[in-house]
Amino acid sequence: MKRIYLASALLCLLSVFGCKSHSEKEDLAQNTLTETPKKPNILIVFPDQLRRYSAGFWSEAPYKDLVVGKPDLVVTPTIDRLAKNGVVFTQAVSNYPLCSPYRGMLMSGKYPEQNGIWNNCKVGRDHSLKDDIPTIPDLFLNAGYNTAYFGKCHWLKPEPLFDDKGNYVGTKEPPGGNYVNKYDTYVPPGKRHGIEYFYESIKDSHFNPHIYSNDPFTIEGKKDGELHLPKIFSPKNESKIIIDYLKNTRGQRDTSKPFCMIWSMNPPHNPWSDDNTDMETLRKYYDADKFPEIDTLLVRGNADKEVGSYVRHYYANVTSSDYYIGLVLDQLEKMGALDNTIVVFSSDHGEMLGSHGKQGKNAVELEASAIPFIVHWPKGLKQGTTNVLFSVPDVLPTIMGLAGLGEQIPNDIEGTNFSSLLMNKESSTVKKPEAILFMLGNSRGVFTDRYSLCLRENKKQWDKDKGTKVEEAFFYDNLKDPYQLNKIDIKEQPEVSNVLLKELARLLEKTNDPWFQEKKYKDIIPYSAI
């Protein structure tokens, strides 16, 4: 990477002395990938906290008949474009609807017990992605890809290794001893898991992202580990850096190789204040003159309009993020690379948005756990939908399978490779799961194509002490009750709950979950029936 940046610096000096005009350089850069590598490129995009039905295409045929309840009235032309030319997963869920646990599973293809992240990475918690497990960037780098990461990481334990200006010094001794953020932190070299080009954005402040990068040209000549504050809306800022990376204006990558890029956007994650929202987009699409009443935007039948009063801000940041994703796709198209780029669009979890009187995530209900998942690859996949029960650890092996790297998937990956199901449904021999595991700090459960089961302990989500009994054991019938208004105690319908509990026992064993290790609540969970 140092050689690339030294060469880049020389090129920049030459340009000052008039080697090529700006327009000539731009035209040349846009054509650097006109001969697309035979291996497909990879682009994984996941905005933070974007729920499954916050996309416009769900209001149109044939997708509207596949919605559980009603979809959100949100404008998303880019997501719609991906859906209408890609494969839409109608039953994708976040096994653990929380930022860091999702990222651990996404990157590693393994469940929390194996990847090391059982809760949000935060000051005072000992949760970090294990150093010795291969991740998506590691595996694609070994397969001959350029690898790049843009945006929020949130997979490393924050430590006081910074000076008082937010610069990484690597020691707790002065001038170190400071945190840069209590929930997230800079990922130093050696902790990046195969990421070559690194552009990290931390802090939930959408117009004041805290940037660290190993490309000095993107951070005003600063060094890797020195804090940069561009004061730009984070999706706008990141899209600019990504487009420049794609154009390869300064030799950021080897254009003879395919690329694997991950883009982790912060919006529409809270805060939902005016100064953290693209207000121009809000006024254009969601202002009071268009929707005088909040409840005309909160269309789901379980939403509390007072609790979900931030809906205009949430939708505005969804729409704005969608716009900047579109700019990146447009650049891929200009380069002739879009058709042979596997674009994966998803999110780490959903957003309650007033449903059940809740905000945020951390819930078994569909608004928090149901996520979008779209695979767009015109060269390799036909447009359509799939109803396979799909969860976060499945992402890594499925993408590797689509890229023709199935034989390089590590044997200890816990997710399932569904690539054959996507590429040829008729001949695929992969078994569709009957249930997938749900986890929170104080809960376990399963999702099936009809039911959501949850066993909740007598402790709060964040308590370090272990639970001692099951406080609540219930399931929802999502077919008869799409807004999950009626909790069904497991004792009320044993013919259903017994099947769900057996699936829970099986999945707890499969993932070596602590509940299985301790045989917790064996009076309810039939471990002996596995």
443 in the same domain as 373: no
> Sorting pLDDT into bands at 50, 70 and 90, what band is 142?
very high
Give dist(CA 305, CA 294) in Å, integer: 6
Q: Which residue has the higher pLDDT, 464 or 47?
A: 47
444 in the same domain as 340: no
Domain boundary among the residues 423, 449, 469 is at 423
Please give the residue range of the domain that contains residue 474: 436-529
Q: Is the pLDDT of residue 347 over 70?
A: yes
Q: What's the whole-number mean pLDDT along residues 509-519?
A: 97
pLDDT of residue 336: 97
Q: Is the pLDDT of residue 30 over 80?
A: no
SS3 content of the chain, % helix, strand, coil (to 5): 30, 15, 55
pLDDT of residue 160: 98
29 token code pair? 């850069």
Q: What is the pLDDT of residues 167-199, one digit of tens each?
A: 999 999 999 999 999 999 999 999 999 999 999
CATH code (residue 133): 3.40.720.10
Quote the number of domains for the chain.
2
> Sorting pLDDT into bands at 50, 70 and 90, what band is 37?
low
pLDDT of residue 15: 38
Amino acid at 339: D
Q: What is the pLDDT of residues 193-240, one digit of tens each?
A: 999 999 999 988 999 999 999 999 999 999 999 999 999 999 999 999
Q: What's the whole-number mean pLDDT along residues 376-392?
A: 97
CATH code (residue 457): 3.30.1120.10
283 in the same domain as 141: yes
297 in the same domain as 372: yes
56, part of any domain:
yes
pTM above 0.85, yes or no: yes
pLDDT of residue 18: 38
Domain boundary among the residues 390, 423, 456 is at 423
Taken in order 50, 369, 204, 277, is the CA torsion positive or negative? Answer: positive
Residue 520, classified by CB atoms within 10 Å of its CB into exposed (0-12), middle (13-18) or buried (19+), is buried
Cβ-proximal residues to 119 (8 Å cutoff; 6+ apart), any chain = 98, 100, 101, 125, 127, 441, 462
192, part of any domain:
no
* Residue given tokens 């898991």 in the structure block: 193
Taken in order 210, 212, 217, 218, is the CA torsion positive or negative? Answer: negative
456 token code pair? 């909740």
Please compute, for residue 407, the number of CA atoms within 13 A of its CA located in the half-sphere on the CB side.
2
Q: What CA dihedral angle connects 126, 128, 133 and 134, to 10 degrees? A: 170
Edge-to-edge strands of the sheet including 146-151? 210-213, 197-202, 146-151, 259-265, 41-47, 341-346, 373-376, 87-89, 384-386
93 token code pair? 């869920």
Contact 168, 218 (CB under 8 A): no
Pairing of strands 443-447, 41-47: unpaired
